A and B are shown apart, each in its own frame.
Chain A
Amino acid sequence: MNSDDQILAAELALGLLDDAEHMAARQRLLTDPDFAAEVAWWQDRFAGLAEGTAAVEPPSALLARIQARLTQAAPAGAARRWNWFTGGALTGALAASLAALLLMPDAKVIERVRERVVEIPVAAPAPLVAVLAPGEGTGREPVAAVYDQQTRTLRLTATITVPADRAAELWSIGSDNVPRPLGLLTAGTRGAIRIEGDMVLQPDETIAISIEPVGGSPTGQPTGEVIAAGPLVTS
């Protein structure tokens, strides 16, 4: 790792970069394990500086409010495994259209979801949305993603095309800057992706889709091209 990358890691750990650079550096956490390790190293080193921040007691009612949010959002049936789909292997075609993710015809999806929220009881958490920018030179269009925190489903506004002998895998990086695989986007599935088990997307996550061997990345890190990535935000 050269010294520019070491400095970039420190800049990300400190939060020095402007929005676009910050986002690009976070996405690199997914594709570059050495860089991710360097960021973790800096975070650990800088942690001592937190002593410069005085502790302040939060209002006493806060814990109860947090606990209420946890019970409200408790998963139904906490299966540890997660299989999004039982789709079979891709066969034949040069390219398979991954409908995975459903097919809302236009980018108005975000607006519509927002409207619908009005009708849901006040306590319902708002959907999280992300605009996934295409990787440089991939020649792809941006894709919008909408994650429903209650049903734990993720919808994309466009179809993602991958080569027949490859699979698309979804990743996330949370505010702890640790990359995690979320699962494969399997061909032939219609409708929303449901995330099973205890994996839940959080409003602090940046999500990304990479092209991997069938069966998913063998390393726990993206090994192929990252075709789309962007931060989730509360809608």
Chain B
Amino acid sequence: MAADSDEPASSPIASITPPDTSGRDMLQGALIATGMQDQEAFQRLYELTAAKLFGICLRICGEWQAAEDVLQEVYVIIWRRAPSFDAARASPVTWMATIARNRAIDWRRANRRPVHDGIAGVGQPAHDPIDDAPAADMAMIGQEQVQQLYDCLRVLTDKARSAIRAAFLDGLTYSDLARREGVPLATMKSTVRRGLLQLRKCLTDEL
């Protein structure tokens, strides 16, 4: 190993693109300050993230008013729970988006909403992101990791990939997915489970 370290890196340091962490740092700073009950930081945090989180709530709830209510609750939760945010455990945007998704999903479960097609033109992606390079707006997560996820999703069957995406983006359960695709529940489960296993293997493979 010592011999290896004497070798120069194959590309000079200067040419390595630094990871874009500025968005993440800004968000993390705002979140940590929010945890110290800094109201201005909370406002900054809101301004940085509200449109993203509202898009998530709207898409999953499928109703404007419900999405507004859920979003309010989400920010109250973020304010109160920010003191216990653990940066070692999740990135700020993942943490906040997880709260928004789970609250919206809980609302759907509590209100027994049927599978919806979304509000026309709202909360829907302009394109299928699986087919494209990931957009840059979430640089806060880490571009490499996002790219890897997209690459690995491409390995799955169309059915598994589309089910996993719909589960994440629209908050659909196995039952919702099975109904939507007109297949038995057990079939949907085994399709998705096979896909998840494949996905995990791909994501954890040392390259």
Question: Residues of A at under 8 Å CB distance from B?
Answer: 3, 6-7, 10-11, 14-19, 22, 40, 43-59, 62-63, 65-67, 69-70, 73, 78, 174-178, 180, 198, 200, 202-204, 233
Q: Which residues of A contact B174 (CB under 8 A)?
A: 16-18
**CA separation between A40 and B72, bound complex, in Å?**
24
Q: Are B68 and A52 within 8 A (Cβ)?
A: no
Q: Which residues of B contact A6 (CB under 8 A)?
A: 196-197, 200
Q: Which residues of A contact B175 (CB under 8 A)?
A: 18
Which of the candidate stretches B1-9, B15-23, B25-33, B78-86 sits at the interface with the other chain? B78-86
**Of A45, A57, A63, A178, which is in contact with the most chain B CB atoms at under 10 Å from its CB?**
A45
**Of A10, A44, A51, A198, which is in contact with the most chain B CB atoms at under 10 Å from its CB?**
A51
22 contacts between A and B (CB under 8 A): A6-B200, A7-B193, A10-B199, A10-B200, A14-B164, A15-B102, A15-B105, A16-B192, A17-B174, A19-B109, A47-B93, A47-B94, A50-B138, A52-B168, A56-B58, A62-B72, A65-B72, A66-B76, A174-B81, A175-B99, A178-B84, A233-B110
> Could you say which of B75, B137, B164 contacts A66, with CB atoms under 8 Å apart?
B75
> Could you say which of A56, A59, A202 contacts B81, with CB atoms under 8 Å apart?
A202
**CA separation between A19 and B102, bound complex, in Å?**
13
Q: Are A69 and B55 within 8 A (Cβ)?
A: no
Chain B, range 131-158, C-beta contacts under 8 Å to A: 134-135, 137-138, 141, 145-146, 149-150
B182 within 8 Å of A (CB atoms):
no
**Of A78, A175, A177, which is in contact with the most chain B CB atoms at under 10 Å from its CB?**
A175
For residue B135, give the distance in angstroms from its CB to the closest CB of chain A: 5
Dominant secondary structure at the B interface: helix
Number of A-B contacts (CB under 8 A): 180
> Could you say which of B58, B103, B122, B171 contacts A175, with CB atoms under 8 Å apart?
B103
- Assuming the contacts A15-B167, A17-B174, asked whether A175 and B98 have C-beta atoms less than 8 A apart, the reply is yes
B203 within 8 Å of A (CB atoms):
yes
For residue B33, give the distance in angstroms from its CB to the closest CB of chain A: 15
